[in-house]
Structure 1
Amino acid sequence: MAAQRPTPTGPAAPDLRVVESRVYRGPNLWSYDRAIHLVVDLGVLEGYPSDTLPGFTDGLLEALPGLRRHGCSRGHAGGFVERLEEGTWLGHVAEHIALQLQSEAGHDQRRGKTRAVRGRPGHYNVIYGYTDETVGLAAGRLAVRLVNHLVQPQDDFVFGEALDDFLRLAQRTAFGPSTAAIIEEAASRDIPWIRLNSASLVQLGQGVHQQRIRATMTSQTSSLAVDIASDKDLTGTLLASAGLPVPRQETVRTMAGAVEAARKIGFPVVVKPLDGNHGRGVCLDLQSVEDVERAYDVAKAESRRGTLIVESFVTGRDYRCLIVGGHMVAIAERVPAHVVGDGEHTVAELVEQTNADPRRGVGHEKVLTKIKVDAAAEEVLADQGHSLTSVPAAGEMVKLALTGNMSTGGISIDRTFDAHPDNVEIAEEAARVVGLDVAGIDFIAPDIASPVRETGGAICEVNAAPGFRMHTHPTVGVPQFVAKPVVDLLFPPGAPSRVPIVAVTGTNGKTTTSRMIAHIFKGLGRKVGMTSTDGVVIDERLVIKADASGPKSARMVLQNPRVDFAVMEVARGGIIREGLGYDRNDVAVVTNVAADHLGLRGVDTLEQLAEVKAVIVEAVPRHGFAVLNADDPLVREMRRRCRGDVVWFSLEAPGSEPREFIEKACRRGGRAVVLEPTDRGEMIVIRHGRRSMQLAWTHLLPSTFGGTARFNVANALAATGAAFAAGAPLHDIRQGLRTFTTNYYLSPGRMNQVQVGGVEVFIDYCHNAAGMRALGGFVDAYAEQQQGRTEQRMSRIGMIGAAGDRRDDDLRELGEVAAQHFDVVVVREDERLRGRPAGESATLIAEGVRSAMASGARCRQVEVVLDELTAVAHVMARANAGDLVMLCVDQHATVLGELETRTSWAQAGSHAGDLVGDPDLDPTELSQTATAEGTEAEEEAIGSSASAEDGAEAPSADGADAVQVVDEPLPSDDKKARRAAEPDRAPGVV
């Protein structure tokens, strides 16, 4: 791309800005992994690549020296600097800054790319990886500000301060060292994880295999054991009763009680909270009554229940033994916070120098904690004859705390391999007595290398949820990989952590295919979690009624502890907005790619739509499968994106081009599901290499209506391929297809057949031209089949509609296709108009019908009834017994409820009275709920329904719910035309 060369002074007002941001939480269009996607507008900077901006590169490298190590596309350190000097656009620069800022925060990210936005000059897609999405987004925003500042300094922006704010944000959102260590170990074993809150609650594994951790507490940590460990008095009693060395101790609630206990035990003593942690409120080596009285107030301030422990003071070094699953995995010697004198600097200056260590931070944000100088520290100094202004002698160790806790500024020395076996046995026994799966045993002993029963020493505390950082990041010694035994405890070698995931996408048929797959595996006894446009289903129970084909719903299924098999319907909108809701799927099914949802979110062509659908194919691992439609050229091309094996399916007859393609694949050992003609009908056959396995005749599958519903034959082929790839036995696949029907309870809103007063009524979700062609083929075939059984003429009436966010031409095409198959077309509108005024979508569809009628299509009459239930009433009023009615609905539940009511009327012979029907089809209970956040319907909405109140043109009395009739009645059915005009036959129609 050629850039306009700037004036020597550079741009007057740099205006690089972020115009859109997205967070991909799984595989997506740009990356196999999670990523941040920013759309940036360079503004005037489009004409100023980096080499035209004097001082820009030097200023950038001074602000972030780590950029010198970026290789960029050159593949070697310094490659990005070369790009800067040669000239690169500033959107690309922002990408590298965002990556480096995350590295400054300890998030090692190196994946990124920048690409121009098609058709929008000066706009760029900036994509980069992230560890924490909050930090990743903040890095992108700060990167943009820094670029603008380097081009022209801004008075209100100081990069050093902004960087500090950014790092503090990263520290607040980051996992602690212990949680991070466990997650890193789990990820190294390919165990998936999900953060369940903003703190440290994390799910490891999926579905039925999941385990949870919160810091170092796990799903297997006993609540009773935690309570025991929190009660130091009870802990001491239990350990003493087991013959383990513990100090003498008493529980007190008053100062007088503390003094009396100290006298009874004998000085020196320790006073500490009964329910404390992290060493807070622990006062050691108290030599007198006055010391105990002062310590009482300190300890009580840190006690939640006001109960304190007075125990004998055991002299020696402070050791922490980490026990996991009853076995010692690490031992650290904890040295209290201190400084070492040099004979020149004061204690305060030495503390400042020590805290300048980059490994030290506030609290648990880094591997070491900064030393805090407070009243307690000054008192410790005074006991040693020092103050903050003292200058210690060279080499003198000056303590600033008595306890060796890391959280108070202490350091750790690894002593794992120095411990005496007797001491190891004592620590392991203590963890077993308390009952903790992960325990920190605090030992006070002269030397851990000598048996404490001989040298003296005791267990002074047993800790639940012990911190790992003293073991993973010791100040002195070798780090211990203590997270490994924790993950071994939760997921023993060979134990599964993932549930099989089958992802299904495509323009049409994905919902029915998903239901077929779920039905097959339900028959195998699996607890199937399924997402679809109707909601989230867990083990055949609808737990959320909404359009749930997005990534949030997928994560909801994987978080359910009953699910051992997942079937995910994956919609285009969710992929574009957030990516997939998981890292990979074992089987990916793509039914077809047709013109629908075009013109939305930058997807304007079928090829671009295929790129979106192919994301689930790219998410197939090497041991997985992609089930692809060989009859669709765009789907067939997706094989090149699949790392695993491909299972093909095809409706075409032997000898056709797709079948020849499949034959070549099978000769190379491939798999396929095809149709083979026999003298008894079409047989579904599974091919694997040169082997053929007959499955079932298509006309005997209930969902195909005697083989006339070719789209459900295709869906059955796709479901067979997915089940075969997922390991289902042949007879179970056959049984699943034979028992899957399109009744409302197994397949709501998809080819549901209802008899209403002798009228054959079908309810389906068809809403685009490609789907209407398939549905029209069924109408033709089914009508011909039924016509052969009776001499009565069957009229065909279709109610159709589409979402308002489709292109004008797509809406007209839907009407044109429908006109080829129906005698009468009634056009309705969805409840949510999606950005169009009331009546506009219906008018465009009706235009398509009229255009086809003018060209000789089957249709002879088109009517517009905007309200769906009113349109249903109108259609049913003009239908006679023996007619075929196809209702393409938006709210299938309310339509089924209306038809159930009409069936009850017909059976009762009256329209009066409150009749009790099927409670699952009660129209008052089945109004569709608002779509959940992140679902397809919500994601694709580009506007809300227009109304008179918000400025839209208000419908007239004979407008929105009126019938608009093209006066071309059916020549052979004047009686129907008269009945349609009778008000009492069409309630609500003017």
Structure 2
Amino acid sequence: MAVEVPTPTGPARPDLKILETRIYRGPNVWSYQQAIHLVVDLGSLEEYPTVSLPGFTDQLVELVPGLDRHTCSRGRRGGFIERLHEGTWLGHVAEHVALQLQTLAGHDSRRGKTRAVKGEPGRYNVVYSYTDETVGVAAGKLAVRLINHLVDAEDGFDFEAELNAFLRQAERVAFGPSTSAILEEAASRDIPYIRLNSASLVQLGQGVHAQRIRATMTSKTGALAVDIASDKDLTTKLLGSAGLPVPKQEAVRTVRGALEAARRIGFPVVVKPLDGNHGRGVCLDLTSDEEVEKAFDIARAQSRRGTIIVESFVTGRDYRCLIVGGKMQAIAERVPAHVVGDGTHTVGELVEITNADPRRGVGHEKVLTKIKVDANALAVLAGQGHTLESVPADGEMVKLALTGNMSTGGISIDRTYDAHPDNVEIAEEAARIVGLDVAGIDFICPDITYPVRETGGAICEVNAAPGFRMHTHPTVGEPQFIAKPVVDLLFPPGTQSRVPIVAVTGTNGKTTTSRMIAHIFKGLGRKVGMTSTDGVVIDERLVIKADASGPRSARMVLQNPRVDFAVMEVARGGILREGLGYDRNDIAVVTNIAPDHLGMKGIDTLRQLADVKAVIVEAVPRDGFAVLNADDPHVRNMRRRCSGGIVWFSMAEPGSEVREFVDDYCRRGGRAVVLDPSERGEMIVIKHGRRSMQLAWTHLLPATFGGAARFNIANALAAAGAAFAGGAPLHDIRQGLRTFATTYYLSPGRLNLVQVGNADVFVDYCHNAAGMKELGVFVDRYAEQKQGQSDLGRTSRIGMIGAAGDRRDDDIRELGEVAAHHFDVVVVREDARLRGRRPGESAQLVAEGARKAMADGARCRQVEIVLDELEATRHVLARTNPGDVVVMCVDNHARVVAELEERTNSAQAGARLGTPGAGTSDPDLDPSTLTETAEAEGDEAEGEALATVPSEAQPAALDDTAV
């Protein structure tokens, strides 16, 4: 159906611009896979769909071949061309062009979608898949330039030159053919990989199961074996001493030494660098002193250490035997770069015709390499009596190189099933003697089908990190799938490559829940790697202090070789910025969805916030679980997005609507963690089908403070559900919850109790209204408990609170209103980072909310503002009396706890000396200074952004574009 063409108000101008670029490196709000996200502004082109731009479609299809294969939303070949002729907007065109440019670069990128930015006419979210992020971003930029050029020609813009530059850039950053073959095999086995540098160093697997490769060298390749293989003289001696056929050989460092060695060995000889590779500097079939002298200079130019090898020239064909794990896997006959005469064309013309083969490219860009005509090639031609202007006879083979390396333009013929068993045994023995797990054995012999000991021949080289291209893409013969035995070597069948990943998200409680889960599995003997808003923890060691709830920290954990279990706290900021830092999580835990961070990055409603948090639920595989809060309707709705099983947790009372929903689910074989009240208290019960398993009394869990901290009961339910889904035994779950306390060392900044002068001071991170409601309920219940246990008079409640400056005004005021209902005195402070606010502005908004609640009859009787957090802490302590309950909602918990401990220690020292304790804070005691710091990457690191998430719940697959 054609679009309705708007009436333009002026001439079309090249106004298409990229306003923002995001790179999603894992599942995200738009896609299950990694994707590039461009926010583009069409400007005046919003009035110009493609049907209103004469000649645009024809020029585009001519310049970017392959667009006719795009199915688009039509689901059939040519669907996108139909859309172009009917009329579609240029943001959608940019998506398809970016995909096709990546395809031209050899990257398999097929999925994309384009959606309007809600409430901003002319702006679009353009999302498309990528293989390499550098190439993907460059493709988007070039697509935008091309579209603008077709709208109004840009002076000096040469698309062909720009495309060639783009293709060269793609070739530079691409994996080589050997690495690509291994990664494709790994991906087919669901083995994840992480690129560790801009070259070919790659990690396969995760955590304790990780292995590394660099091209075809692996974690199991011995450095000593590589050194031996690099020393051709030593290699020959070792092989010769084992009785294997090798040429006569001597190592020299001078021309005179080379001449003398050649005479002793006997002409013809070969001269080559001791430490060369890819056939560089190798000169063959030298029959005179003059040729040896010239060859010495050529070989020395390619030698790093200056040592040159002179060896006897073994005649025959050049064969490469690939040995993996001590077994022969493939054999290729290598034919040097050459052309075949036709009696008409010159050698130079034949080279051009040969290089025009679409299978040939520059370097390792394609399966064959273009023949390069250089001084060496001219010398080889001269040796055959030819020049570039010669016209060879029909059928005459004219060599342009003496070695059969693919990198110099040679071709390969598969001979895997032709080799004689004796020759296979010799090649395998050579690899074992050198000690290489992956080795390339170079045989020179008349025919590989006959034993070399009878026909003559020798092993001329043993190569570490042999190339796979000649075997995976032979010019003649069947390709050999040699990546399989390499991956088998690293990950034998039945071994694991992944560590279990538990992802935890939600508005409140995710940090404590993550710590509870990590604590339970630590008790099982697991080496747990955890990310949270406080930093990266590896096996209970804080290795980086930062807001580490984003994807970069997740990848850091998965790269650590000690980690065999991962717990990831996932913040909305990291999801919106980069997606998840991994491809899937085995267990997803969602604690709750409450108003926080609304009005930021296009997230204006709870439904949109739930769509972002649901990414971890969508990343659960079929054999995984989502642990969801049945009491929260937004979380409950996420069950439809989970491919795996569901474990519900609920604090609802038996007989309630939510509890009936959970019980009905369990009767059908499902799992849940619930509370069963009794006269003795509340029991945490794990239900699986019709079985009910009692876990622990809530009031006996240290983190609940006798059951007063209801939010920590909910966190314990979520943690128990995750541990049960992860296969933890019931006894270990119970023991983990019973030994987890909210001390500063187990759970810093989360309801830490410090006794200061007989007053109970709690330090917490609460910073939003929803969290303050839960914290207020705890204060009410705890104060009642304390009042009943104390002979002191009325217990006063003092709260120190503060709001992040990037929240909405109403949200900040609501924080003050809620606090006023639970505290007698409210002291308002501010964060060190004001996040765009003026000093004192956010504090005034909090105070306004508190005073409004006071006017409506709230509990609070006094509101004070002390902006600096440390000064506010000292102010609160100064007005605290014995028996009071104090809650400090802090930003920098390390400094505040250090101040509290200093006050406590001073008071104790004063008591011992019989003098009043009047301690002051020493900044040198700040625990935060003892830990490595890093740039924050979670919600605290967010800035303003233009991109938005889908306004409605969208399927996460990039389903609009199919190539």
Does the pair score TM above 0.5? yes
Q: Deviations over 1:568-622 (max 9, x none)?
A: 0000000000000000000000000000001111101111000000000000000
Secondary structure, aligned partner of 2:23: strand
Between the two structures, name the one with larger relative contact order (CA 8 Å, sep ≥ 6): 2
Secondary structure, aligned partner of 1:333: strand
Secondary structure, aligned partner of 1:909: helix
Answer whether contact 1:24 1:579 (CA < 8 A) is retained.
yes
Secondary structure, aligned partner of 2:234: helix
Instruction: Say if 1:673 and 1:917 are closer, same or farther in 2 by CA, change over 3 A.
Output: farther
Answer whether contact 2:3 2:87 (CA < 8 A) is retained.
no
Partner of 2:18: 18
d(CA) in 1 for partners of 2:884, 2:8: 76
Partner of 1:645: 645
Partner of 2:831: 830
Instruction: Say if 1:387 and 1:22 are closer, same or farther in 2 by CA, change over 3 A.
Output: same
Using the TM superposition, give the Cα deviation of residue 4 of structure 1 relative to its aligned residue in structure 2, in angstroms. Answer: 5.4
Partner of 1:378: 378
Secondary structure, aligned partner of 1:271: strand
Using the TM superposition, give the Cα deviation of residue 11 of structure 1 relative to its aligned residue in structure 2, in angstroms. Answer: 3.2
d(CA) in 2 for partners of 1:915, 1:544: 34
Aligned positions of 1:276-291 closer than 5 A? 276-291=276-291
TM-score, normalised on structure 1? 0.93
Aligned positions of 1:287-436 closer than 5 A? 287-436=287-436
The residue type paired with residue 90 of structure 1 is L
Q: Does 1:439 align with 2:432?
A: no
Partner of 2:240: 240
Q: Deviations over 1:113-162 (max 9, x none)?
A: 01111111011111000000000000011111111111222222111111
The residue type paired with residue 407 of structure 1 is S
d(CA) in 1 for partners of 2:503, 2:287: 70
Answer whether contact 1:240 1:246 (CA < 8 A) is retained.
yes
Answer whether contact 2:894 2:927 (CA < 8 A) is retained.
no
Aligned positions of 1:752-791 closer than 5 A? 752-791=752-791
d(CA) in 2 for partners of 1:280, 1:928: 50
Partner of 2:958: none
d(CA) in 2 for partners of 1:247, 1:91: 65
The residue type paired with residue 799 of structure 1 is M
Using the TM superposition, give the Cα deviation of residue 638 of structure 1 relative to its aligned residue in structure 2, in angstroms. Answer: 0.2
Using the TM superposition, give the Cα deviation of residue 85 of structure 1 relative to its aligned residue in structure 2, in angstroms. Answer: 1.2
The residue type paired with residue 793 of structure 1 is R
The residue type paired with residue 142 of structure 1 is L
d(CA) in 1 for partners of 2:831, 2:621: 39
Partner of 1:923: 926
The residue type paired with residue 436 of structure 2 is L
Aligned positions of 1:578-657 closer than 5 A? 578-657=578-657
Partner of 1:952: none
Secondary structure, aligned partner of 1:160: helix
The residue type paired with residue 898 of structure 2 is G
Answer whether contact 1:650 1:674 (CA < 8 A) is retained.
yes
Answer whether contact 2:339 2:399 (CA < 8 A) is retained.
yes
Answer whether contact 1:931 1:938 (CA < 8 A) is retained.
no
Q: Which moved more, 1:202-211 or 1:468-477?
A: 468-477
Using the TM superposition, give the Cα deviation of residue 374 of structure 1 relative to its aligned residue in structure 2, in angstroms. Answer: 1.2
Stretches of structure 2 lacking an aligned partner (at least 5 in a row): 947-963
Instruction: Say if 1:822 and 1:804 are closer, same or farther in 2 by CA, change over 3 A.
Output: same
Using the TM superposition, give the Cα deviation of residue 704 of structure 1 relative to its aligned residue in structure 2, in angstroms. Answer: 0.2
Using the TM superposition, give the Cα deviation of residue 739 of structure 1 relative to its aligned residue in structure 2, in angstroms. Answer: 0.2
Partner of 2:907: 906
The residue type paired with residue 764 of structure 1 is D
Query: After TM superposition, where is structure 1 displaced by more than 3 Å over at least 4 residues in a row?
Result: 1-4, 910-921, 924-931, 940-943
Answer whether contact 1:834 1:941 (CA < 8 A) is retained.
no
The residue type paired with residue 824 of structure 2 is D
d(CA) in 1 for partners of 2:449, 2:918: 85
Answer whether contact 1:799 1:871 (CA < 8 A) is retained.
yes
Secondary structure, aligned partner of 1:285: strand
Q: Does 1:887 align with 2:888?
A: yes
Aligned positions of 1:610-759 closer than 5 A? 610-759=610-759
Answer whether contact 1:573 1:940 (CA < 8 A) is retained.
no
Partner of 2:845: 844
Secondary structure, aligned partner of 1:544: strand
Using the TM superposition, give the Cα deviation of residue 929 of structure 1 relative to its aligned residue in structure 2, in angstroms. Answer: 7.2
Instruction: Say if 1:274 and 1:343 are closer, same or farther in 2 by CA, change over 3 A.
Output: same
Q: Which moved more, 1:69-78 or 1:521-530?
A: 69-78
TM-score, normalised on structure 2? 0.96
Partner of 1:554: 554
Q: Deviations over 1:499-535 (max 9, x none)?
A: 0000000000000000000000000000000000110
d(CA) in 1 for partners of 2:605, 2:752: 32
Residue correspondences, number = 942
Answer whether contact 1:897 1:921 (CA < 8 A) is retained.
no
Aligned positions of 1:40-189 closer than 5 A? 40-189=40-189
Secondary structure, aligned partner of 2:12: coil
Secondary structure, aligned partner of 1:745: coil
Q: Does 1:449 align with 2:452?
A: no
Q: Does 1:249 align with 2:249?
A: yes
The residue type paired with residue 683 of structure 1 is M
Q: Deviations over 1:15-73 (max 9, x none)?
A: 01111110000000000000000011111111111111111111111111200011011
Answer whether contact 1:897 1:926 (CA < 8 A) is retained.
no
Instruction: Say if 1:933 and 1:538 are closer, same or farther in 2 by CA, change over 3 A.
Output: same
Using the TM superposition, give the Cα deviation of residue 359 of structure 1 relative to its aligned residue in structure 2, in angstroms. Answer: 1.7
Partner of 1:221: 221
Answer whether contact 1:894 1:926 (CA < 8 A) is retained.
no
Answer whether contact 2:903 2:917 (CA < 8 A) is retained.
no
Partner of 1:860: 861
Answer whether contact 2:116 2:125 (CA < 8 A) is retained.
yes
Q: Deviations over 1:287-341 (max 9, x none)?
A: 0111111101000110000001100000000000000000011000000011111
The residue type paired with residue 940 of structure 2 is A
The residue type paired with residue 392 of structure 1 is P
Instruction: Say if 1:654 and 1:913 are closer, same or farther in 2 by CA, change over 3 A.
Output: closer
Q: Does 1:200 align with 2:213?
A: no
Answer whether contact 2:511 2:533 (CA < 8 A) is retained.
yes
Using the TM superposition, give the Cα deviation of residue 920 of structure 1 relative to its aligned residue in structure 2, in angstroms. Answer: 13
d(CA) in 2 for partners of 1:844, 1:726: 44
Answer whether contact 1:835 1:942 (CA < 8 A) is retained.
no
Identical columns (%): 77
Using the TM superposition, give the Cα deviation of residue 108 of structure 1 relative to its aligned residue in structure 2, in angstroms. Answer: 1.1
Instruction: Say if 1:541 and 1:647 are closer, same or farther in 2 by CA, change over 3 A.
Output: same
Partner of 1:803: 804
Partner of 1:896: 897
Partner of 1:934: 937
Secondary structure, aligned partner of 1:65: coil
Secondary structure, aligned partner of 2:845: helix
Using the TM superposition, give the Cα deviation of residue 2 of structure 1 relative to its aligned residue in structure 2, in angstroms. Answer: 7.1
d(CA) in 1 for partners of 2:400, 2:923: 71
Using the TM superposition, give the Cα deviation of residue 913 of structure 1 relative to its aligned residue in structure 2, in angstroms. Answer: 13
Q: Deviations over 1:936-971 (max 9, x none)?
A: 32225799xxxxxxxxxxxxxxxxxxxxxxxxxxxx
Q: Deviations over 1:841-886 (max 9, x none)?
A: 1010000000000000000000000000000000000010010100
Q: Which moved more, 1:905-914 or 1:475-484?
A: 905-914
d(CA) in 2 for partners of 1:930, 1:434: 45
The residue type paired with residue 537 of structure 1 is V
Q: Deviations over 1:884-907 (max 9, x none)?
A: 100000000010000011001111
Instruction: Say if 1:931 and 1:825 are closer, same or farther in 2 by CA, change over 3 A.
Output: farther
d(CA) in 2 for partners of 1:937, 1:33: 25
d(CA) in 2 for partners of 1:593, 1:460: 68
Answer whether contact 1:3 1:49 (CA < 8 A) is retained.
no
Secondary structure, aligned partner of 1:631: coil
Calculate the aligned-residue CA RMSD, in Å: 1.9
Instruction: Say if 1:265 and 1:561 are closer, same or farther in 2 by CA, change over 3 A.
Output: same
Q: Which moved more, 1:620-629 or 1:349-358?
A: 349-358
Stretches of structure 1 lacking an aligned partner (at least 5 in a row): 944-990
Using the TM superposition, give the Cα deviation of residue 376 of structure 1 relative to its aligned residue in structure 2, in angstroms. Answer: 1.2
